[in-house]
Amino acid sequence: MTYSDKLISYYKTIANDCVLGVSLDCVIFGFHDTRLKVLLLRWKGTDEWCLPGGFICKTESVDDAAGRVLHERTGLNELFLQQFHLFGEANRYDREDTWQRQKMPMPFSGSWPDRTISMGYYALVDYTKVTPTADFLSDVCGWFDVGELPSLLYDHCRIIHVALQTLRLQLNWQPIGLNLMPEKFTIPELQRLYEAVLGRPLDSRNFHKKITGLSILTRLDERRTGKAHKSPYLYQFDLPNYQRALVNGNLIFV
Amino acid sequence: MTYSDKLISYYKTIANDCVLGVSLDCVIFGFHDTRLKVLLLRWKGTDEWCLPGGFICKTESVDDAAGRVLHERTGLNELFLQQFHLFGEANRYDREDTWQRQKMPMPFSGSWPDRTISMGYYALVDYTKVTPTADFLSDVCGWFDVGELPSLLYDHCRIIHVALQTLRLQLNWQPIGLNLMPEKFTIPELQRLYEAVLGRPLDSRNFHKKITGLSILTRLDERRTGKAHKSPYLYQFDLPNYQRALVNGNLIFV
DNA sequence: ACAAAAGTGTTTAAACTACACCCATGA
DNA sequence: TCATGGGTGTAGTTTAAACACTTTTGT
């Protein structure tokens, strides 16, 4: 059975079990080494990348489908996952161009619709806990700097940019720190995250004052050592206070 | 040809021309007599109401489809129209209960999917310019106070509540005043709008100070007369300054 | 000892909150 | 003349922004 045969069989299964004409794409954000990252898949046999995505089973809620895709690609459950935009243009991308770059005949026969509406989700995950896992259509799954994206199929470049815009807007009301940071972290590391999302530097004294003033962090006795400078304290989130601050809309950094 | 026959033919046309399994629902907000209103349709031959909605033509963008539905129901073009949530649960509502209340056999035959995903849009319109117009499935189209909704089909009650929540959150960054107010209005009238959306009273002195301080309003020489008290000045939005304030995120009333 | 980042406090300006009286109008 | 809501200012408090030096650590 050739790959092309397998592909046709794969799409037949999808057409049978899933809602046709609707897909979802997940922009999975992580944070590592002062950079905001996004998880991408490399299309088999090409140098083209795309977002993790999938279809919605006939008896499955769309949010659950997004959770499933995310679990399959990262190994994580109970992620912070949020709808952000429905990409519903009749001609979202240049189909000819994409097929050519995908280097394979797309098995679009009778039942397959000739336009797909895609729901965009973004997820915030702890980079250190993710096991990037490719899917049937891809051979590599890996992280990319949001500022240094490779060649992307479909309209996925636009989807990432809309996700990033949304993330910036929601920085103040969403538990972005909690979901993107590892369990223990230093205040300067958290500041790097906010700077990476906002795309501009913040004043360390004001940041420190603000973040500690919210009482959402607990300072541990440990410190992060090993660098040629003063060892910063490690902190972790105080969950009850964090939730409270979110509800009250206090997590503001403009 | 009975209504039931027409209905079957109607759904056949939809199944032929539109994307199957996806619909859209529009929560159309207006403002009148100090109250926030929403436009509803009465299902033919029943006392049940629902949101204006529709399907997406095969070659139409989803946003355009929402604009079309809105134009058909209100007579307005170029409305402020915004995606707010995808309602994608596999069992969004009790189907048996809904069919019974709709008092008609739903023509769900072979090609009709047994679950529908619906994209929620909200629109802000000038109440005074709207000509409510029923559609094929409804016999009445009219405004309701968001606080006094009638019996609603499907999950439309939930959809309205999610729309309202979104509207509250977006009050600060969306041109809500501009779209919901008539061309000329008084500052107390605008304050009533903000109070209606926020659901709580605002201090008139602070409101006046704030709104005039933004330089987004032009005071006209006219005043609104006819009431047994001091006649308030009429204002209109200064569009260039309004846009600027929106971009800068200055339209905040918490 | 040096380089590199962490930790910390004050001052100033802007924004927000609370609060009360007089005025114009129509009944 | 009375009832109703419109118009307006100030003081106190809170919040944000700007800004620099000392400490710790590893090399």
In this predicted model, what pLDDT tens digit does every residue of A189-217 receive, in sequence order?
999 999 999 999 999 999 999 999 988 99
Lowest mean pLDDT among A37-41, A117-121, B90-94: B90-94
Please tell me the predicted confidence (pLDDT) of residue A251.
Answer: 62
**Residue ending a domain, choose from A151, A170, A189:** A170
Residues B100 and B198 in one domain: no
Please tell me the predicted confidence (pLDDT) of residue B245.
Answer: 78
Helix extents (H) in chain B: 3-17, 62-74, 95-102, 156-170, 176-180, 187-198, 204-213, 239-247
Counting residues of chain A whose pLDDT is more than 70, the rounded percentage is 95
Mark residues 205-224 of chain B whose C-beta is closer than 7 A to nucleic acid strand C.
205-206, 209-210, 223
Closest-approach residue (CA) in chain B for A120: B86
Please tell me the predicted confidence (pLDDT) of residue B241.
Answer: 87
Mean local confidence (pLDDT), B168-185: 87
Mark residues 149-208 of chain A whose C-beta is closer than 7 A to nucleic acid strand C.
186-188, 204-206, 208
pLDDT of residue A49 exceeding 70, the answer is: yes
In a domain, A254, yes or no: no
Q: How far apart are CA B18 and CA B68, in angstroms?
A: 14
Select the residue of A21, A61, A173 nearest B22 (Cβ to Cβ): A21
Largest CA distance in chain B: 66
Which residues, 6+ apart, have CB-to-CB distance to A171 below 8 Å? A194, A197, A198, A253
D chain positions with any atom within 7 Å of a protein CB: 3-10, 16-20, 23-27
In a domain, B93, yes or no: yes
Residues A105 and A229 in one domain: no
**B20, B56, B117: best to mutate for the A interface, most A CBs within 10 A:** B117
Residues A9 and A67 in one domain: yes
Q: Quick one: DSSP state of residue B130?
A: -
Span A72-114, pLDDT tens digits = 999 999 779 999 999 999 999 998 888 889 887 665 566 778 8
Residues A82 and A207 in one domain: no
**Residue ending a domain, choose from B170, B201, B219:** B170
Query: Which of A110-119, A187-196, B239-248 holds the top average pLDDT?
Result: A187-196
Residue B214: which CATH number? 1.10.10.10
Q: How far apart are CA B241 and CA B251, in angstroms?
A: 11
- Extract the tokens encoding B203: 């201090």
Does strand C come within 7 Å of the CB of B227? yes
Lowest mean pLDDT among A58-62, A247-251, B119-123: A247-251
Span B193-227, pLDDT tens digits = 999 999 999 999 999 999 999 889 999 999 999 99
In a domain, A40, yes or no: yes
In which band, very low, low, confident or very high, does the pLDDT at B251 lie, cut at 50, 70 and 90?
Answer: low
In which band, very low, low, confident or very high, does the pLDDT at A125 lie, cut at 50, 70 and 90?
Answer: very high
Q: What range defines the domain where residue B53 resides?
A: 3-170
Mean local confidence (pLDDT), A246-250: 69
Lowest mean pLDDT among A157-171, A216-230, B166-180: B166-180
Task: Considering only residues B235 and A252, tell me which one the structure prediction assigns the higher pLDDT.
Answer: B235
Q: How far apart are CA B42 and CA B121, in angstroms?
A: 19
Please tell me the predicted confidence (pLDDT) of residue B106.
Answer: 62
Span B99-149, pLDDT tens digits = 889 887 665 566 778 899 999 999 999 999 999 999 999 999 999 999 999
- Selection from B148, B135, B13 nearest residue B72 by Cα: B135
Q: How far apart are CA A145 and CA A166, in angstroms?
A: 17
Span B21-38, pLDDT tens digits = 999 999 999 999 999 999
pLDDT of residue B46 exceeding 60, the answer is: yes
Residues A165 and A193 in one domain: no
Please tell me the predicted confidence (pLDDT) of residue A96.
Answer: 86
Chain B residues near residue A113 by CB distance under 8 angstroms:
19, 58
pLDDT of residue A183 exceeding 70, the answer is: yes
Residues A101 and A21 in one domain: yes
Residues A153 and A214 in one domain: no
Residues A23 and A120 in one domain: yes
In which band, very low, low, confident or very high, does the pLDDT at A6 lie, cut at 50, 70 and 90?
Answer: confident
Please tell me the predicted confidence (pLDDT) of residue B25.
Answer: 98
Q: How far apart are CA B183 and CA B196, in angstroms?
A: 19
Q: How far apart are CA B85 and CA A165, in angstroms?
A: 17
Residues B63 and B140 in one domain: yes
- Selection from A50, A69, A73, A52 nearest residue A155 by Cα: A50
Mean local confidence (pLDDT), A129-156: 97
Residues B97 and B189 in one domain: no
Quote the mean pLDDT of chain B. 91
Closest-approach residue (CA) in chain B for A21: B19
Residues A76 and A188 in one domain: no
Span B56-66, pLDDT tens digits = 999 999 999 99
Residues A127 and A241 in one domain: no
pLDDT of residue B19 exceeding 70, the answer is: yes
Task: Considering only residues B37 and B249, tell me which one the structure prediction assigns the higher pLDDT.
Answer: B37
Task: Work out how many domains chain A is built from and give that number.
Answer: 2
Residue B128: which CATH number? 3.90.79.10
**Residue ending a domain, choose from B126, B145, B170:** B170
Please tell me the predicted confidence (pLDDT) of residue B105.
Answer: 65
Select the residue of A19, A62, A88 nearest B62 (Cβ to Cβ): A88
Does strand C come within 7 Å of the CB of B254? yes
